Amino acid sequence: MTETTKTAARQRPLSPHLQIYRWSLTMALSILHRATGAALSVGLLMIVWWLVAAAGGEASYATFRAFAASPIGLLLMLGFSGAFYLHLANGIRHLIWDAGCGLEKEAADKSAKVAVIAAIVMTVVTWLLVVAYW
Amino acid sequence: MTNFRNPLKLARNHGASGTGTGHFITQRVTAIIIAPLAIWLIIGIISHMHADLTAMRAWIGHPVNAGLLSLLLIASFWHAAIGLGEIIQDYVHCATKKLAALLAVNVLCGLLGLVSTLAVVKLLLV
């Protein structure tokens, strides 16, 4: 207790963190991979709700459908789909790194751009399909 | 006296999480399972956008779809449990809070994974 108070009072230097570094795309993607992962864990709840409602019966399924088709539901699904595609594209980047490829600075910068563009394209295509089937 | 202990034996299981490579490999295996199945599910949902409950139940309960859905659910909740656990291990430093948060995440992911898989199994057997 006294040790931590003393340490805090002395204002010991900290290693550089988020607010110190100049933002780069690779860094943003690294953080977004975690953020989207956490968001998608919450998004799984909607899939659970969908399945449990379908197994439940007419009343529970109608409640789910009304929510899914509501502006909030659609906005959530738009967010989850965007988060999923970014997590997917960046996840594939991670798998390629795990194989020992593309770890050079230039390659990582390039694959970061590819991942962002791929995520945007996949999200747009998905929602164009939704609109087409509407 | 000579120390016969392999240095790897001393290093193993002493990281921040207590374990390491097991989770690392599971996270990647589940990711490879989720990637194609999630895209399959998105296509399935969009093509059944206007389906009523009967049609939706029939689609979910089809043996092939039910099998793929169950695999996707189990892989997803496993992936989520490891991923959320990793975030907790990185940012929660108090040992008690860390244990409680990890326990909560694992129990919730296990429970929700089971509940959703059982819903699929119910529609399979209808």
pLDDT in tens, A88-117: 999 999 999 999 999 999 999 999 999 999
Contact assignment for A55 to B49 by CB distance below 8 Å = no
| Residue indicated by tokens 């009343």 | A59
Residue B105, pLDDT > 90, answer yes
DSSP A23: P
Query: CA A45 from chain center: how many Å?
Result: 15
Which one, of B94, B35, B5, lies nearest residue A85 by Cα? B35
Residues of chain A with Cβ-Cβ distance to B35 below 8 Å are 88, 91-92
The end-to-end CA distance of chain B, in Å, is 69
Q: How far is CA B95 from CA A34, A44, B12, in A?
A: 22, 28, 20
Distance CA B83, CA A76 (A): 21
Phi/psi for A55 (5° steps) reads -75, -25
Interval A54-59 mean pLDDT: 96
Q: Radius of gyration (Cα) for chain A, nearest Å?
A: 21
Residue B80, pLDDT > 50, answer yes
User: Given this model, what pLDDT does residue B15 score?
Assistant: 63
Distance CA A72, CA A113 (A): 30
Mean pLDDT of chain B: 92
Residue A53, pLDDT > 90, answer yes
User: Given this model, what pLDDT does residue B14 score?
Assistant: 66
Phi/psi for B121 (5° steps) reads -65, -40
- At position B89, the amino acid (one-letter code) is Q
Task: Give the pair of three-digit tokens for residue B13.
Answer: 């299981």
Task: Give the pair of three-digit tokens for residue B55.
Answer: 């049609």
Does residue A31 sit at the B interface (CB-CB below 8 Å)?
no
User: Given this model, what pLDDT does residue B99 score?
Assistant: 96
Q: Choose from A47, A78, A126, A129 for mutation: most chain B CBs within 10 A.
A: A47
CB-CB: which of A40, A51, A129 is closest to B116? A51
Q: Which residues have a Cβ under 8 Å from the Cβ of A119 and sit 6 or more positions away?
A: A82, A85, A86, A88, A89, A90
